[in-house]
Chain A
Amino acid sequence: MPREEADRKCCACTVEWAMWGNMNAFYAGLFIFVGSVVAASIPEIAIDGQFPTNVGSALRWINIFIGLFVMLVEYPLSARRSKKTAVERPGQRYIAPILHNLRFVGSNYIIRFMLYMIISVPVFFVLSSIFGGLCLLCACACYFAAALNGESWKAPTLGWGPGKTVTKKGPQIKEIPKAPTEPPPRPPPQAREGLMAPPSGSPPGYP
């Protein structure tokens, strides 16, 4: 059987752009971080005993934090809309509550799209983080598509999540038994049938 035939099992479901956006953004954050660390790791040269106070070196440090920030925001995966398979990154339940408590700031993808657009500006001014910046722009495009598609970030129900209590199932009872009509103490059912058949006389053990 061709692999694609198995891959296409879910061809009926619509594309959730945010899933791909998350993938792109998380690794964009990683590349921004790595690129900026590479740039910041090379020492500046003191000319005439004075270090250059250029904007470039400040930007390198800012970009390191931007990279870390994006990775942190993107670490927890959202719950799937079609609730089919929930994929989670290890240990994401410690970060997901933060995003969840931010309400619409954390869940709205148009806000995320705009935030990343703004954040990516300084990234393009340091050469070694340009590649990460390009990846982040791709992620932005995905999030924009996700926002147009009406998607939003939802806390996953596995591990941590407000949905956990909702999904918990109690014992299911199909029929509610009728309330007893007689006050206790009651005879065992067999004895009671015997009681009903001959209407006269009192059964043994019944006052």
Chain B
Amino acid sequence: MSLLPSGWIINEFPKWLVFGTWFLLNIVLFIYQFNLFQTSNTQFYMRFYLKEALAFARGPALPINFNVILILLPVCRNIISVIRGCTRVVPRSIRRVLDKNLTFHKAIAWMLVVSSTMHVVAHYYNYERLARYSPPNSLPPGDQATSIPTQALPFNGSVGQLNPIHACFITYAGVTGHIITLVLFLMITSSVTYIRRSFFEVFWYTHQLFIVFLVGLGIHQYGRLLPVFRSASQLQDVGLGVCAYAPTSSENYTRFCTNLNFAPAGPTSWMFLLCGLLIYGLERILRVVRGFYSVVIIKVVQHPSNTIEIQMRRKGFHAEAGQYVFVNCPSVAWFEWHPFTLTSAPEEDYFSVHIRILGDWTRGIADKLGMNRNDFQQSWELPSIYIDGPFGTASEDAFEHPVALLVGAGIGVTPFASVLKSLYYRITEEGSGLVLKKLYFVWICPETYAFEWFANLFQELEQQLIDKGIDDFLTSWIYLTRGWKDNQAFYLMLNEGRVTAEHATDDMVDAITGLRAETTFGRPEWEKIFEKVALAHPNTDVGVFFCGPSVLSHNLHKQCNAFTKKGGSAGARFYYNKENF
């Protein structure tokens, strides 16, 4: 047994390795740049005026550039999906790190915020000091450096004579700096969880300002404000201090300091930006190319509880189980791409999405598909639909573990629809070499009525498995957390939760859902479930797949680590996988 719990190694280590490396790189870049500006001769004279604030302003610049390259990468969903798709080359642990893409996007964004704040505050401080101490004023009393040449300062040391607004809005750095910081501010405030969850449109449209941010950052240094001292060699013998301390009338001063060679620092950010933008450009091209293929709608099914299912076909479309697509319908909204989980199995000859009608867009598309029409809708009357995707998520890997525990909470069951369907095809196919031997499925929902389509699908699967005589393959538990009435519970208690199935005389099904799976009220006791699974499968890899709210996710994650540790080397090993939610 190693020093660290093995659950931590398999579930956390790859993620923290990437995160730690990134964080360390940021620190190293900051210290390198900070040290450079604190010690180099090129900024010798500027440091008399600005002290450490110069290094504090320039230090974060390198991490900002570094993070600007990185921030676009986690949102390149096509590229990530391509990398994920190469299952032979890319090991599972890296694929699991790729699933954390949005977490990395957020971490990078926060690093940008921290370094920008430091940069902005330090530059304001620099400006205020220059404005007060540069000629015709002098450095604070006690400082003997009275004869610094004015070329060593921005604006030839005339900042003090400018008014602040003017000084801020005549330079590239001032104008672009204020604009891009404001843009960053708006992007951050609109993506705080409770605003993003409540008003997705505000978040989405504000995030499109990233173009302004990138362009502004690219031209931020174009004004070449920072003078860099180029000719340190000519002062080698007398020392740089001569031009700061020696009286302007002395012989040394007139000999060495009257025509010092200063040149402005050139812009560098654009090089960093270009790397990120090239990769992002490739991503956008991929999106456009993939979007060009037209989609044929082959069937629209209306389900209870305001849900419609659209079955479609597209040339060259292939999706794995649990993936999602972005749907665009130009006749409803030109620029809106809405994500939906695929509910069809890869083995089926079409792909489908289930859309629950909640908002304007979903209602619009339902009307276009003829949901509220009484007569038959001709196929040429159907709207054209474009699809971007599919994009990969973790549930593809469910088949690669000997034992899998799928946990779907609320709306989070949708990705498991295609997983379960696909599972059926794989079991029935002869010689498919399926690694998966046993599947546990836990479905937690407030009430089942919103997911009747899923319950129906699940019921079919159960029946088909029984017909094939492999009913021990799937064990499932359903938990209703809310939305059950007192009399319902009473009825259940009387029948001990089971009533005789109408279609199978000697079989018992659940009274609420009509499934063979047992329905329990309240929340699941994870310790018992994990213990059951761990006891049944010693020395086995168990893949735990979860889709649902984050509070539950943390709990499951902890259970996975705890039970992997508890089992030791001979026990079950739980690999935790979380769907983005």
Contacts and interface: CB of A to CB of B under 8 A. Distances in A.
Do the two chains bind? Answer: yes
Interface of A: 1-13, 15-16, 19-20, 23-24, 27, 34-35, 38-39, 41-47, 85, 87, 124-128, 130-131, 134-135, 138
B199 interface: yes
B194 interface: yes
B194 A1 contact: no
A15 B199 contact: yes
B189 A20 contact: yes
Interface in B196-232: 196-203
B340 A7 contact: no
B185 A2 contact: no
Instruction: Give me the 4 closest cross-chain CB pairs, A-B, nearest first.
Output: A128-B124, A127-B164, A11-B359, A2-B339
A9 B124 contact: no
B473 to A, nearest CB: 24
Contacts of B127: 127-128
A15 B340 CA distance: 22
Given A7-B200, A127-B127, A45 B393 contact: no
Interface of B: 102, 120-121, 124-125, 127-129, 131-133, 137-138, 140-141, 164-165, 167-168, 178, 181-182, 185-186, 189-190, 192, 194-203, 324, 338-341, 358-362, 391, 393, 411-412, 414-415, 547, 579-581
A39 B178 CA distance: 17
B132 A42 contact: yes
A131 B182 contact: yes
Nearest to A137: B182
B12 to A, nearest CB: 21
B580 A34 contact: no
Nearest to B131: A127
A9 B198 CA distance: 8
13 contacts: A1-B412, A1-B414, A1-B415, A2-B580, A9-B197, A12-B358, A19-B194, A27-B185, A35-B124, A42-B132, A87-B194, A127-B131, A138-B182
A126 B197 CA distance: 37
B202 A20 contact: yes
A131 B164 contact: no
Contacts of B168: 127, 130
A16 B361 CA distance: 19
Given A1-B412, A3-B580, A47-B137, A16 B178 contact: no
B167 to A, nearest CB: 7
A62 B195 CA distance: 32
A162 to B, nearest CB: 23
Nearest to A31: B185
A77 to B, nearest CB: 9
B190 A20 contact: yes
A42 B167 CA distance: 18
A3 B102 contact: yes
Contacts of A42: 125, 128-129, 132
B96 to A, nearest CB: 16
Given A1-B581, A19-B198, A42-B125, A134 B415 contact: no
Given A2-B391, A131-B120, A7 B197 contact: yes
Given A24-B189, A45-B140, A128-B128, A2 B199 contact: no
A93 B196 CA distance: 25
Given A12-B359, A134-B182, A45 B341 contact: no
Contacts of B186: 24, 138
A56 B192 CA distance: 36
A124 B166 CA distance: 11
Contacts of B182: 131, 134-135, 138
B121 A38 contact: yes
Contacts of B132: 42, 44-45
B581 A19 contact: no
A127 B167 contact: yes
Given A1-B580, A2-B324, A11 B358 contact: yes
Contacts of A2: 324, 339, 341, 391, 393, 580
Contacts of A131: 120, 178, 181-182
Contacts of B167: 127
Given A2-B580, A44-B132, A127-B164, A10 B198 contact: yes
Q: Which of B120, B128, B138 has the most CB of A within 10 A?
A: B128
Nearest to A23: B189
B110 to A, nearest CB: 14
Nearest to B122: A38
A34 B121 contact: yes
A23 B188 CA distance: 10
Q: Which of B198, B362, B412, B415 has the most CB of A within 10 A?
A: B198
Q: Which of A8, A10, A16, A126 has the most CB of B within 10 A?
A: A8
B202 A39 contact: no
Nearest to A13: B198
A5 B339 CA distance: 6
Given A1-B547, A43-B140, 16 more contacts: A1-B341, A1-B415, A2-B391, A7-B203, A16-B198, A19-B199, A45-B141, A47-B137, A85-B194, A125-B165, A127-B128, A127-B168, A128-B124, A128-B128, A131-B178, A134-B182
Nearest to A46: B141
Contacts of B178: 130-131, 134
Contacts of B581: 1, 3, 6
A34 B168 CA distance: 18
A15 B201 contact: yes
A23 B360 CA distance: 27
A195 to B, nearest CB: 34
Nearest to B408: A1
Given A1-B412, A45-B133, A131-B120, A8 B128 contact: no
Q: Which of A20, A34, A47 has the most CB of B within 10 A?
A: A20
Nearest to B123: A128
B61 to A, nearest CB: 17
